[in-house]
Structure 1
Amino acid sequence: MSPIGVAELTARLGRWSAGRGPLYLLLAGRLRALIDDGDLPPGTGLPTDRALAAGLSTGRTTVVAAYDLLRAEGRLVRRQGSGTWVAGAAPGPRAATEPTSSPVFLHLLEQPDHVTQFACAGPLTAPAAVPDAYRAALEDLDGLGYHPAGHPRLRQALADRYTARGLPTEAGQILVTTGGQQALSLLTRVLVTPGDEVVVQAPTYPGLLEVLREHAAVPYPADDFVAAAGRRAAFAYLIAVCHNPTGATLPVARRRAIAAAYASAGVPLIVDDVLAELGFAGPEPVLPGVITVGSLSKVVWGGLRVGWVRADTALIGRLARVKAVHDLGGGVVDQLAATYLVADLTRLAAARVRELRRQHDHLCGLLRDRLPEWTFEEAAGGQTLWVRIPRGDSVSFAQVALRHGVAVLPGTQLDASGGGGDRLRLPFVAGPADLTATVSALAGAWHGYRAGPAVAALPAIAV
């Protein structure tokens, strides 16, 4: 069995230090769970005491004590000069892909009450329009209820919205999905075969990188997106408006040049417009001739798991056949509620943008006041800032922040090029009081942070 690297083990450990009690017991407890669940199989070599301590930004004695405790329990084997590994015989070949170890998903799966969630971004409360829409939907139920491509009324409502924004669209060009994440998963399943290359930005949305890993695709981080159109890629993935994580928006002429380049090369271009309604300068034009992914999760509420794909009818048909096998279609009540919300989306988006702009400005002011060493560019919209820390690395600092009660997302998880080691993605979705308390905790973590050797970036994908 091959050894596991420091960065990968650090990611799998997740919120190991967020509990109460001595750090060595917390670390041993998380390692014990990974071993017992099979996430660290027998024969797996573990990092040295010093290397793991540096990666976790903790003392070497903490790691030594945790390893020794698990050795006494028979879960680890430790021999001087030979290293430390999980006890037991190495198993046979494993599946091509392993369960996700991305903090984006682990922070959702593991949510201790005393840890502030500063790793994921999305509206923290649903507007009053959401329960109103559900009440209306519950009075409007009929038919069999199975709609693999989406409820006809929602498909038509989304098509009408695209048409009103200057991109004529028919209902047959819309596939309704369980959020934008499922849209990306379905598109990747249909367009990619193992080993295919996919052009991405660096950094980019980490959920897409996890989908590529799941399908054994290879991300190609492109500095020049137009030039990368000449590559033999399965598709390209672009966040052009309110980029996640930087908050930047590409000029309209640049967006059109990118779309033209990929159309000419015959490479599908997927444009992620999940955040496109959240620009501080107002609505942006819709890009024609591309595959578009949208969602209500960022504009309205994350718990409303309704997304969609806009594409040509042939691709929509292929996607619908795959989706039918998996879930026979999303919940009808959710989709009918979404129909009412889509009709009111312009007003809802404008209210959300006003709120986000206030919170963005508040967070920027807090960072300049409490953490003047950190640098960033103000966002043009969206929900996040892309912040540079001047020393150490984002993975080890995230561990220190966790011990101060704040979960933050290290930049390495968003950059397929291996960069982002000096970056953090910080959302401005919370209210001013919560942002103030969170930045205060981050400042405390930073002032107590002792940077060790940089932790190597966790590969975004393993083929």
Structure 2
Amino acid sequence: MVSSRSVDLDELRALLGEWRNGSGSLAERLAAAVEQAIERGELLQTWRLPAERSIAEELGVGRSTVVRSMEVLAARGIVHRVQGAGSFITGKRSSPRTASLPPGLRSKYQMGEYTGPGIIAATVPSSADLPADALTVTASELLDASPDGEPPGSGYHLAGLAGTRRAISAMLTAHGLPTGPNAVIVTTGATQSLSLVFDQALAPGDVVVVESPTFPPTLDLLRRAGVQVVSVRTGDAAVDTEGLAKVALKARAKMAVVTATCNVATGHSVTSEDRRALVRIAEAGVTVVDDCTLADYHPMPQPRPLAAMSDQRSIITVGSFNKIYWGGLRMGWIRSHPTLVPSLVRTKAKTDTGSSVPSQLILAKLLRHHDTIADLRRLQVQRRAAATRDFIGRELPDWIIEGPGHGPAMWIRLPVRDSAEFVAFAYQQGTAVGYGGMYRSDGRASQHIRLTLTSGDDEVARGVADLKAAWSAFPDRRRTRKGNAR
């Protein structure tokens, strides 16, 4: 847990930087600079800011300016002012922006229900183009033996069927992460994998560093765990691993959660050289969780997973087959140091006595075709991405597509201050698209939308056309100039 300390004036001045630049009153600019330092993980929960009079003298502004800026931060729940004691960082963030979304769409985000019209916020591939022979389970396989001749027995296999664990470990080894079956736990997907890791490794009050944007379920699980989430923004490139490492060590973080290969929103991947900073903090004792859920969408050859760079107990890798095979499969995995598997299995046993045997048998068969399926999925989303880029460039020139074009989604910046209003408007017009603010670990508003590419070619083309129609009908007064969008 973060220990309380006082921030000295020299440190605060350095953290605020050129805070006078920007728009709004001096008080608003000062409040924004403090908030940005909190977002970067440079000002942490329970830390006390200098006295308002001292801040005013140090910055060369009136005391009333500093008082007003603290009032703004207090109203946002970012600082807590104590009479006679000072202002303390609360570590709280605004709840993810759902207030502007219509009830139907807001409930889908809150309840995790991703069904609706048009392009969905989190669609997954269809099973239609998977090998048909791999999608069947015979009575003999189910009741007598798995594909490699091992009886499933009672069906209660906490870590997963031995044959399925072998198949997963073989796939990981072939992709550059040497893994034995005793290092693998079969789960229902990345969400369960992360839930087990968080339940086993974290306690309320622990500090967890998370890149932003990231998977919304990851954020939900961390909030439920009662930890302090420190956000490190990725900007226009992959996450700054050196900056993340500094934040993690300074904050005495218990864990860092990263998507080193194929960020869920931008599609960016951390370079091999930059991954070393993440390995270093693992060697320093920070548990590093490498979420490889979308790694198969990265063009071959893929970057080496973090765990392949160092055999550290504190590097845990998780993944899912639901995003690359089919959502209805409900299969994922945890790869950890073998010495950690028993404790993770005990945690799993509290709520789940074993993943579905039929699904595991099907997974073992699908894994024989893994590279072929992954190649197909990459080609599908690349084709849809190219068509969507052409359409947006021609029909929606003020929309900016960010990221390298990897992954099953596109991260698009709109010329508005907050895309929530457009997401709500588009939904009312009959199409649903992902709201960027749901992917931000700092809970702030976002100019971005996330457009998924895992539906069929015609569905994606139709959805983009529907978004264009919605944008054309979107009231002009809600737009900002492209140059002012940030």
TM-score range (shorter-chain normalised) is: 0.7 to 0.9
The aligned amino acid for 1:316 is: V
**Structure 2 counterpart of 1:71:** none
% identical equivalent positions: 32
Residues 197, 233 of structure 1: 8 Å contact kept: yes
- Shift of residue 158 of structure 1? 1.3
**Structure 2 counterpart of 1:305:** 330
- 2-side partners of 1:257 and 1:9: how far apart? 30
| Number of residue pairs aligned between Structure 1 and Structure 2 | 364
- Spell out the pairing of 1:202-351 with structure 2 (5 A cutoff): 202-223=212-233, 224-230=243-249, 231-259=251-279, 261-288=280-307, 289=310, 290-351=315-376
Deviation string 1:214-265 (CA, Å, 9 cap, x unpaired) is 1112211125222223132221111111111101112111113322x22232
Deviation string 1:296-350 (CA, Å, 9 cap, x unpaired) is 1111111110000000123221111111121211110101111111222111111
- Shift of residue 12 of structure 1? 7.0
Specify every segment of 5 or more residues in structure 2 that has no aligned partner in the other structure, as ranges. 1-74, 78-93, 145-152, 234-242, 480-486
Of 394, 408, 411, which residue of structure 2 is paired with 1:369? 394
The aligned amino acid for 1:16 is: P
Of 131, 153, 175, which residue of structure 2 is paired with 1:165? 175
Of 136, 139, 144, which residue of structure 1 is paired with 2:154? 144
Residues 184, 208 of structure 1: 8 Å contact kept: yes
The aligned amino acid for 1:232 is: R
Residues 179, 295 of structure 1: 8 Å contact kept: yes
Deviating more after overlay: 134-143 vs 116-125: 134-143
Of 422, 426, 436, which residue of structure 1 is paired with 2:461? 436
Residues 137, 358 of structure 2: 8 Å contact kept: no
The aligned amino acid for 2:126 is: L
- 2-side partners of 1:329 and 1:374: how far apart? 46
- Spell out the pairing of 1:78-89 with structure 2 (5 A cutoff): none
1:119 and 2:125 matched: no
The alignment partner of 2:348 has SS state of: helix
Residues 246, 379 of structure 1: 8 Å contact kept: yes
**Structure 2 counterpart of 1:91:** none
The alignment partner of 1:116 has SS state of: coil
**Structure 2 counterpart of 1:98:** none
- Shift of residue 124 of structure 1? 3.3
- Spell out the pairing of 1:440-459 with structure 2 (5 A cutoff): 440-450=465-475
1:404 and 2:414 matched: no
- Shift of residue 447 of structure 1? 1.9
- 1-side partners of 2:259 and 2:224: how far apart? 21
In structure 2, the CA distance between the partners of 1:242 and 1:399, relative to structure 1 (3 Å rule), is same
The alignment partner of 2:164 has SS state of: helix
The alignment partner of 1:219 has SS state of: strand
The alignment partner of 1:326 has SS state of: coil
The alignment partner of 2:257 has SS state of: strand
TM-score (normalizing by structure 2) = 0.70
1:16 and 2:103 matched: yes
- Shift of residue 448 of structure 1? 2.1
In structure 2, the CA distance between the partners of 1:338 and 1:15, relative to structure 1 (3 Å rule), is farther
Residues 429, 470 of structure 2: 8 Å contact kept: yes
**Structure 2 counterpart of 1:154:** 164
**Structure 2 counterpart of 1:25:** none
In structure 2, the CA distance between the partners of 1:304 and 1:319, relative to structure 1 (3 Å rule), is same
- 1-side partners of 2:478 and 2:399: how far apart? 19
- Shift of residue 409 of structure 1? 1.6
- Shift of residue 107 of structure 1? 3.9
- 2-side partners of 1:396 and 1:409: how far apart? 12
In structure 2, the CA distance between the partners of 1:282 and 1:207, relative to structure 1 (3 Å rule), is same
TM-score (normalizing by structure 1) = 0.73
Residues 370, 439 of structure 1: 8 Å contact kept: no
Residues 123, 455 of structure 2: 8 Å contact kept: no
- 1-side partners of 2:126 and 2:102: how far apart? 21
**Structure 1 counterpart of 2:41:** none
Residues 363, 428 of structure 1: 8 Å contact kept: no
